[in-house]
Amino acid sequence: MQRFSAVRRVAAFLQNRSRQRASFSTSLLFDDTQKQFKESVYQFAQETIAPHAATIDATNSFPKDVNLWKLMGDFNLHGITAPEEYGGLGIGYLYHCIAMEEISRASGSVGLSYGAHSNLCINQLVRHGSSAQKQKYLPKLISGEHVGALAMSEPNAGSDVVSMKCKADRVDGGYVMNGNKMWCTNGPVAQTLVVYAKTDVSAGSKGITAFIIEKGMPGFSTAQKLDKLGMRGSDTCELVFENCFVPEENILGAVGKGVYVMMSGLDLERLVLAAGPLGLMQACLDAVIPYVRQREQFGHPIGEFQFIQGKLADMYTSLQSSRAFVYSVARDCDNGKIDRKDCAGVILLAAEKATQVALQAIQCLGGNGYVNEYPAGRLLRDAKLFEIGAGTSEIRRMIIGRELFKQD
């Protein structure tokens, strides 16, 4: 895969227009290969995705002239946790988190869509799909030709997702689905969607089944794209099912076992998405540090004033501590130790820190931070999402507290 702007990079250097960035020691977190990978994805994301970030936010859509999904697929980013036989790399959650961090650093919206596609959809198919299902859906999802999504929440079932009303009634050869899903990331563009519905409304959580839905299935449509505060461009919409027939072979996992698919998937979703706020925090520091070196007031760069240095310190320690937590849990998950409260814990911490770091970034940039020409405002709006999606902070706290209470 060719890098189209390496020539421009060297030319840019020669003209002394250096792309400023703050890079911090991560020597204890990664081995040499992981560091190489991080650097590689960083270069790819900065050259391919970052130039579009502001426009994606302003126009609330992905760029039309480049196919980011395909480019990320060419760079082997979608199937990091998928088996090689389907085009994946099968190298685990740590690498997936690294990719998520660097993509989010370039653009929060692209990172979120990437996370929904590669983890919520692809990884769920990897973990629960039958061989036939994996063979049918994974190759195109991993190459980037198809986009994946996942839908569990409904207009009236967010945190209380188990109370979902979308139902799938048994008919000859499959199920007929009726209902609505809300806040589905990539919904407007996805070809393959993992959708949870109740096959037995009276059985509560044990009546949920996971299905694989394909775009174009009669009775399945998407309603208008949502106009969001942040993560603009990461297309999100409502899904509408009106007597949508879903064949038997599209059941993901087993009938009535959907809640297990969903909850165990949520643990890993939280882990991988936790790398999103890490990227956003890093992007904040990338913007702030050069600024406070250049901006002068009272005859000094503002970075020499203690209040600003205090903010830098807080932002830095928030990022580094969150990073240490996320990657150590990622390592555990790769070793088979998936701890529900740790997975909830990493995204709880990283998301809340990211919002605070973004607020401080705006403050460091002062009036310029308030102007949309600078990225700080978008970083704040993007960061806030992570306190809500994949289980709100309140739900995460409840999960952790409950797990600690149960444990002896």
Q: Which residue has the tokens 């998928």?
A: 82
Q: How many residues bind other proteins (CB under 8 A)?
A: 32
Least separation, in Å, of the C-beta of 375 and other proteins? Answer: 18
Stretch that binds other proteins, among 13-21, 110-118, 138-146, 335-343 (CB under 8 A): 13-21
One-letter amino acid at 213 equals I
Ramachandran area for residue 402 (φ above 0: left; ψ -120 to 50: alpha; else beta): alpha
Q: Which of residues 69-108 bind other proteins (CB under 8 A)?
A: 75-77, 80, 89, 91, 95
CB of 46 to other proteins, least distance (A): 10
For residue 19, state whether it binds other proteins (rule: CB under 8 A).
yes
Residue 269 bears catalytic tag: yes
Q: How far is the CB of 292 from other proteins (least distance, A)?
A: 14
User: Strands (DSSP E) along 217-373, which ranges?
Assistant: 220-225, 236-247, 251-252, 296-297, 300-301
Strand partners, 245: 176
Given the complex with other proteins, which of 12 and 171 has the nearer CB atom?
A: 12
- Minimum CB separation of residue 225 from other proteins in Å reads 32
Question: Which helix (H) or strand (E) covers residue 258, if one does?
Answer: helix 258-294
Interface with other proteins (CB under 8 A), residue from 15, 27, 28, 32? 32
Show contacts with other proteins in window 360-389 (CB under 8 A): none
Min dist CB 13 to other proteins, Å, is 4
Q: Which residue has the tokens 């895969």?
A: 1
How many other C-beta atoms lie within 10 A of the C-beta of residue 259?
20
Q: Name the one range near other proteins by CB under 8 A: 20-28, 113-121, 157-165, 266-274.
A: 20-28
Single-letter residue type at 276? G
In this complex, which beta carbon is closest to other proteins, that of residue 76 or of residue 191?
A: 76
**Shortest approach of other proteins to residue 98 CB, angstroms?**
10
**Cβ atoms 404, 80 nearer than 8 A:** no
Q: Hey, what amino acid is at 128? A: H
40 near other proteins (CB under 8 A): yes
Q: State the SS3 of 133-166.
A: HHHHHHHHHHHCCCCEEEECCECCECCCHHHCCC
Residue labelled with tokens 């406070």: 292
Contact between 275 and other proteins (CB under 8 A)?
Answer: no
Per-residue binding string, other proteins, 168-207, x by CB under 8 A, is ----------------------------------------
Q: From CA 230, how far away is CA 119, in angstroms rounded?
A: 21
Write down the catalytic residue from 269, 352, 387, 394. 269
Does 20 engage in binding with other proteins (CB under 8 A)? yes
φ and ψ of 76, to 5 deg: 60, 35
Residue 9 makes contact with other proteins by CB under 8 A: yes
CA–CA gap between residue 334 and residue 329 (Å, rounded) = 9
Question: What amino acid positions are annotated as catalytic residues?
Answer: 269
Residues interacting with other proteins, by CB under 8 A? 1-7, 9-13, 18-21, 23, 32-33, 36-37, 40-41, 43-44, 75-77, 80, 89, 91, 95
